[in-house]
Each structure stands twice: as structure tokens, then as C-alpha cells.
Amino acid sequence: MDNATISIRIDKQLKDEFDRICDNFGMNISTAITIFAKKVVSERKIPFEITENDEHGFYSEQNLFFLRQSLDELERGEGIVKTIEELEAMENE
């Protein structure tokens, strides 16, 4: 399988806590994100509820800022797109 790389921006404190929790589960962030992506693809939906009132959730101002910034980068041709398979191969290197 070919793998792809996904590059995202995330708050450092959130990333560090996520990394710590993933480590406690015996996995790394890449594996956790891959599990999430596979669940989304298999169910054709986000596998949990997202509400507008959640100030720290998907629709938070901070997250929307980073999403817009990432979209701008992709539109300028500055983004890198990789498949899940490419990501998994990179993880195994």
C-alpha cells in the first residue's frame, strides 16, 4: 500500500496531552489518527457528536482559523497530500 503524509497545525499543549494519552494506549499519534480516519471512512460520518456550542470543539474560532489557513495553503499549491497507505508506510520506516 502507498502511504501519504498529512501535515496539520495543532495547539502544542493539546498535541502534548494527546501524545501522552496515545502513549498510555500503546500507540502513537499517527496510529490514533489513522484509526480515526478508517472509522470515518467506514461509517461515512464523524464517529462522535460535534456541537456548535462547544467552544473548544471543531467549530471553535481557533480551529476554524487553522482550517482556513490550511485551505489557503492547499489552494496556493503549498500543501502535501498523502494517502493513508503512504502514511502507514512512513510509520513503519
Q: What residues does each domain of the chain span?
A: 12-51+79-91
**Assign residue 91 a region: left if phi > 0, alpha if psi is -120 to 50, beta otherwise?**
alpha
Question: What secondary structure letter does DSSP report for 57?
Answer: S
- pLDDT per residue over 65-86, tens digit each? 888 888 888 888 887 777 888 8
Q: Which tens digit of pLDDT belongs to each residue from 3-46?
A: 888 888 899 999 999 999 999 989 999 999 999 999 999 999 88
Buried b (16+ CB within 10 A) or exposed e, 33-43: bbeeeeeeeee
CA separation for the pair 54, 75 (Å, rounded): 28
- Overall average pLDDT of the 54-58 stretch: 65
